[in-house]
Amino acid sequence: MSWQLSLAVAALAVLQDSQPPAFPAEARLKQPLGFRTEPSLKAPFVIRGRNYLTAGTRLRLLESDPAFGTEGAFCKAEAQGRQGYIRCDKAEAFELAPATDSSRQTRAPAEKQDEGNHEKLGKYCRDVDSCKAFCRAHCKLDLSRWSSTCKLPGLLGSLAVDSPLLKGLPELRFVKGASGVRATDGVMAGLKRLDEHIAGSSSWPKGHVAFVKNCFRSMVKNATKECDFILKGWHLREKWAGKTPESKAEEKQKADGERFINPAKNLGLSWPGAGPHSAGNACDIVVRDPNGREVTACKSTEKMRPLSRALVDALTNDKVGAVRLNYEGWHFEWGGPTHCRCKGDDCNDNHWPTPCDGGQHCARPR
């Protein structure tokens, strides 16, 4: 290779390396960097006792302020199943994955974009067979106690139980919550906007409150519960293979095996992995009357319908900014996927009443 061509190749490489990534961007660290709870060198570290992410750590860069590779820049990032901030003022500290054609586009078609958003939260497995293999590899069913324990690897899009990114619900007038409710700053800001909206609303039912039952839920706890059902289901299926039950109790046991192996279809659960709750983006919210009774529920009635409408209208307007899961009347999110979510009249007219059969009613985008 001539020296002129070598120089040209080197110049092209420098030019390519200087281009800012299209967020979110997959990356690998080329040098150790601190992983902090806020975009500041004075902020505490995310992982106690292990302040720095080592060279070779893979992470996802979500956004940068100011621009990536400029003085003072911090990137919001996900690494080792947690979310925090990392210095990204020196582009040479990162090895960025090549951008795909779709990531270079500023606006993708809505259906494809929804599918991509849906995939940002990692899953350990996605069907009966893969979840059987995963749960058996990482969990153990104790038959004497009829319960499972799991040791689960970290997962993208899931916050740790002790994450400093999770905050408690502040004192609000029209939005109340169960003790222990925690969520990210973005969700808490949405709940404050909800409180302000209800305060100025003439259509909100007098004396009623929006009650937050939960927001963040541990991915480890949820996945352990889901794997517990899956392991029990396979144990029961194999126990009754080729046998005929002789009592109603045995018939139920055999039927439970078939139900448990697919918790996503039969039990109203998800496949083990991260979800909107474990990512800190979602809350389960209902309406309570002046006596503290829950007056919106899964088994919807015509009496509940105006209350459900009031809740949807209060949460999914442009000011408050939430979306509702179309098959659960209590599940609202700020950010994340848009597939199988609804707002306003779409929820009230096209996705009411919501099903109560324990199954999920949301086809994947074609």
Q: How many domains in the chain?
A: 2
> What is the Cα–Cα distance from 290 to 118, expressed in whole angstroms?
38
Q: Tell me, what CATH number does 44's domain have?
A: 2.30.30.170
Task: Determine the Cα–Cα distance for residues 122 and 136; give it in Å rounded to an integer.
Answer: 19
Considering the domain architecture, whether residues 135 and 55 belong to the same structural domain is answered as no
**Looking at the domain assignment, is residue 158 inside a domain?**
yes
Please state, in angstroms and as integers, the Cα–Cα distance from residue 20 to each residue in 32, 40, 63, 89, 281, following that order. Answer: 20, 21, 11, 11, 27
Note whether 87 and 142 are same-domain residues: no
Whole-angstrom Cα distance, residue 200 to residue 256?
49
- Asked if 146 and 96 sit in the same domain, the reply is no
pLDDT at res. 358: 59
**CB distance 268 to 134 below 8 Å:** no
> 55 is in which domain, residue-wise?
20-101
Quote the strand ranges of 30-154, DSSP E: 33-34, 52-53, 58-65, 74-79, 82-87, 94-96, 139-142, 147-150
Q: Judge if 334 and 227 occupy the same domain.
A: yes
97 with 153, same domain: the answer is no
In a domain, 25, yes or no: yes
Rg (the chain; Cα; Å): 24
Do residue 159 and residue 84 come from a single domain?
Answer: no
pLDDT score at 312: 97
Predicted confidence (pLDDT) per residue in 151-188, tens digit: 998 777 788 888 889 999 999 999 999 889 999 999 99
Q: Which residues of the chain have pLDDT under 50?
A: 1-18, 99-119, 363-366
In a domain, 184, yes or no: yes
Render 15-46 in DSSP notation, one character per residue.
Answer: HHHHSPP-SSEEEEESS-EE-BSSSSTTSPBS
Please report, for the domain that includes residue 339, its CATH number.
3.30.1380.10
pLDDT of residue 1: 47
pLDDT in tens, 310-319: 999 999 999 9
Q: Are residues 186 and 328 in the same domain?
A: yes
The predicted pLDDT at position 359 comes to 60
Cβ atoms 35, 46 nearer than 8 A = yes
Same domain for 283 and 228, yes or no, is yes
Helix axes 128-138, 219-240, angle to 10 degrees: 110
42 lies in a domain? yes
Question: Is 355 part of a structural domain of the chain?
Answer: no
